[in-house]
Structure 1
Amino acid sequence: MTTDSLAPAKVAEPLRDDEIHVWRLDYDHHQGRAPFLVLLAAYLGCAANAIQLGAGVYGRPSLEMPRDPDLHFNWTHSGDQALFAIARGIEPGVDLERLRERPRALAIAERYFSVDEFAALAALEPAARDAAFLQLWTAKEAVLKATGRGLAFGLHRLSIGSRADQLALHFLDGELPAHWQLHRLSLDSKHVGSIAWRGGPRTIRLRTLAPGA
């Protein structure tokens, strides 16, 4: 994973087939999809208002116009931060959470997570549990987004292990975990994020979009 802080002009830097570009940006929920469409337009070489989006059966945004069937993207936001992931030939799933207290983390994990995930969280000291829960949550969401199904698929139908700086997909109902890639995103002390995709390894280029770009 590489991390760069780049000027807005670099948004349109060529996207190689062996890369995933992940943009981090300041975000206000009143903006809706607008900032993400601006980034997508830079890769497509068109105006943002020329983009037409559709949605899959489970609501995942997809590109209808201009046509580029090889280009796939995903976005997420939490508080005043957002992530936008884009790649060719694979469908990325990305998720972001701002670190905060989660007093019901164990109760949620016991009800919705796998037995192994719950046991791993229960074994942690309370001071470390919130961050671990949110990292696990973003990892599960990233995988579910990459499947195109989202949370409707069921949090209990996949199991993820977390150790040091590594995430590992141990189980995904109906699929082989070996066909998947799952990674933490190196953000800051206040946020956790994850990215997942079905396919081989790729270089993740994490960039920060300059404010007002």
Structure 2
Amino acid sequence: MEDRKQALVSRLLQYALIHEVLGIPYNEIVIKRTFEGKPYLECSKVGVEFPNFNFNVSHHGDYVAIASEPLCLVGVDVVCCTEPEKEPVPEFIENFSSYFSSLEWDNIINTGTSDEILVDFYRYWCLKEAFVKAVGSGLAYGVDKVEFHHTNWTNISVKVDGEPLTEWRFWLFKLPERHWVAVARGHPRFATENYKRTICKAEFDAEEYHKGLNLPNVAFVTRIIEQLIPVSHGEERPTMQDICSDCLHLSSREA
């Protein structure tokens, strides 16, 4: 799926999610972006059930993914484990070695066959992307300082500058056709200053926060594009120009 089509589907997903979760009419949905490019809902109608409603989108290969949270920060990243066309796998991943800790890099290059190396590379990559997208910074965060630990890709945890972040949770899902998607859920205090201005609460008592942190992780639901097109039920619908007003400005990787 080419970038412009992915950007359009991304925009449709954002509108559909906000409409379904919050019940806001399509024509009243206003989506903006922080300086770093993270999308957010500009709205005062979120309510006490969703004090920090936020969402994140990602697209790569054949999939566009979206995830949202009512209280915690959320980041999502989808990757397609495509074979490099112009160079062997070891040479391809070497271009990105500076983004990984020494432990992660050793795990990647010693995992087995070239295909297994490529898959592990993408697994680590999408976890890192999900984390930095959750905090709202993108790769400017310094992902080499973000080190992931796991047990056969379950019980995933993270350290930043060697310090464990116990207030974060991570999930990794396998999708068809060699796609993987990672979801990060974490404390709002880690958000960039620009992104903190878009949420209502950055501090919680431990009990309140852990209720949000330990919410069940709902499985992804597959939608086709036709299911994302707004259907009028007596309300004014946004035009495709409204929905896609900034689609052409989206990069091939959503913030």
Category of TM-score, reference length = shorter chain: 0.7 to 0.9
**Structure 2 residues without counterparts, runs of 5 or longer:** 188-212, 228-255
Task: Tell whether 2:56 aligns with 1:74.
Answer: yes
Matched to 1:202, the amino acid is L
Contact 1:105-1:133 at 8 Å conserved across structures? no
Counterpart in 2 of 1:64? 42
1:155-184 alpha-carbon deviations (Å, 9 max, x no partner): 212011344231533412496421111111
Task: Tell whether 2:182 aligns with 1:179.
Answer: no
CA distance in 1, matches of 2:52, 2:141: 25
Task: Tell whether 2:182 aligns with 1:204.
Answer: no
1:30-88 alpha-carbon deviations (Å, 9 max, x no partner): 51512321222221212323211222342211111354243111111113311110121
Matched to 1:107, the amino acid is E
Task: Tell whether 2:109 aligns with 1:116.
Answer: no
Aligned-pair CA distance for 1:111 = 2.0
Summarize the alignment of residues 4-153 of structure 1 with structure 2, pairs less than 5 Å apart.
28-29=5-6, 31=8, 33-68=11-46, 69-102=51-84, 103=89, 104-125=91-112, 126-153=114-141
CA distance in 1, matches of 2:215, 2:95: 33
Please report the TM-score for the alignment, with normalisation by the length of structure 1: 0.78
Say how many residue pairs are matched.
187
**Structure 1 residues without counterparts, runs of 5 or longer:** 1-26
Higher helix share: 2
Matched to 1:122, the amino acid is I
Distance 1:53 1:88, change over 3 A: same
User: Which structure's CA Rg is the greater one?
Assistant: 2
CA distance in 2, matches of 1:63, 1:174: 34
Contact 2:13-2:66 at 8 Å conserved across structures? no
Matched to 1:208, the amino acid is T
Runs (4+) of structure 1 moved beyond 6 Å? Answer: none
Matched to 2:143, the amino acid is L
Please report the TM-score for the alignment, with normalisation by the length of structure 2: 0.66
Superposed CA RMSD in Å reads: 2.3
Aligned-pair CA distance for 1:95 = 0.4
1:80-104 alpha-carbon deviations (Å, 9 max, x no partner): 3111101211111000011211434
Distance 1:34 1:120, change over 3 A: same
CA distance in 1, matches of 2:57, 2:22: 17
CA distance in 2, matches of 1:57, 1:175: 28
Larger deviation, residues 165-174 vs 88-97:
165-174
Matched to 2:70, the amino acid is R
Contact 2:150-2:157 at 8 Å conserved across structures? no
SS in 1 for 2:42: strand
